Amino acid sequence: MKVSFAKLSRPASGAVAVGVSDGGKLGKTGQIIDRSTGGALWAAMKAAKHTGQSGKTLTVYAPPRSKLTKVVVIGLGKAKDMTAQSLEEAGAILYGALSKEARVTIVIDDIKNAAEDGGDLAAAIASGVVLKSYRFDKYRTTEKASAKPKLKSIAVSSNAFADARAAYKVREAVNAGVLLTRDLVSEPPNVLNPATFSDLAKGMAGDGLKVKEIGRKDMEKMGMGALLGVAQGSITEPKMIVFEWNGADKNDPTVAFVGKGVTFDSGGISLKPGAGMWDMKWDMGGAGVVTGLFKALAGRKAKVNAVGILGLVENMPDAKAQRPGDVVTSADGQTIEVLNTDAEGRLVLADALWYVQEHHKPDTIVDLATLTGAIIAALGEHYAGLFSNDDELSTQLQAAGQSVNERLWRMPVGPEYDKMINSPIADMKNLGGRYAGATTAAQFLQRFIRKGTAWAHLDIAGVTWSEGSTALAPKGGTGYGVRLLDRFVADQYES
């Protein structure tokens, strides 16, 4: 979608959206538009008792005495509560009211005592329109033209247009990462597999972003028995992708992001029930987020040294697939009794975590995975689970999530849970029992974190895909995690 910013003025024609703050008083430009319609906006607002309540819309079609086709009044709430987050959500609501228009002008009058800068607010409302307009319609061939949205261009009219352009440039790069992640989790598994995912990632190389592929032979040489055990039942060979972005001084710390990339998870020999198995196409959500994050970091030239690791496999029940009861050896030499082949994501992450520590020595690691159904039982679809060995890192991640409405809830780890994954025949087992499943999975991962490394594990199983629309996304892939981690980087490494 084309987005532009211009100096505040009255649109002469077409479809228009007008922001109004709590109290129902139109700004100067809104008043000019109202007068040009003979007071139609004010009359409609009065009749509908629209007083600028946050998120409330009112549509006036073909207002008299004007060449405007439609005016949508959007409530922005109280000035003291107006933030980039609230304006972004207002933009998403506007998209629902204006998606059938080809082009829209959004008028944002100066707002006294707003909680944030006018340029940030103008950029945010445009960002909300773009994020909500996402559609994955790559495979639709029979949809009628009348059913498709038409909005292709928005122009934001604001006195802070110069600042808005600069602010939106950053948002545009981050949004590109979000949309890429949504595309990845939406792709069917016969299209997105370890090989095609790897090819896509390699295609992102350039402009300072380095991308390296590691194949099966090299994994075997490095002793990645945990990851390879998951992959051995698939005809598609596993891949590991390494992103490197060096945007800061070479002596600055390195932060690593590691993503689980199981492009389809049948459960393996421990086969999942057939009902709902289709949604295991997005069991690569963690890798999708890391991919989107590095597109964002490179796109906005982030001043950080970052490494991203994707562990890409397919978990299938072939005759060669690993069995419940097998013992595998991870790259760092630890042995794992595989009690359930459907607890495979932690095996993939184990070797990926070893690799990034062995070859890049990051100070901080954040891993992401659609790891457990247990986290969905605990938190539903509103929070991701956060597990960490570092209080400061946890606080930083939670603050970043709160600021972009991608919320985290910290869950416990500790020695009492760690005992639950001890094996009678190996160093550990990949299943901790009936209870505390999300925590025992995190405890498993923590065994692969070296002393002195700050680590956080985000279990995003409940927030990667939504069966209903969210504030900024339609039904389907949410892109959850890209904005959170980008904000974390901005706050902790660039401020």
- Catalytic residue set: 272, 346
In the chain, what's the furthest Cα-to-Cα distance?
Answer: 83
Give 206's DSSP letter. Answer: B
Q: Are strands 13-21 and 103-107 parallel, antiparallel or unpaired?
A: parallel
Kindly give the interhelix angle for 482-493 and 391-403, rounded to the nearest 10 degrees.
120
Distance between CA atoms of residues 345 and 293, nearest Å: 20
| CA-based R_g, the chain, Å | 25
Phi, psi of 259 (to 5 degrees): -125, 135
Distance between CA atoms of residues 263 and 273, nearest Å: 18
CB contact at 8 A, 130 and 106? no
Q: Which amino acid is at 244?
A: E
- Residue 361 falls in which region: left (phi positive, over 0), alpha (psi -120 to 50) or beta: left
Distance between CA atoms of residues 170 and 158, nearest Å: 18
For 283, the token pair is 């069991």
Residues 6+ apart with CB under 8 A from 237: 194, 195, 215, 216, 231
Q: Which amino acid is at 361?
A: K
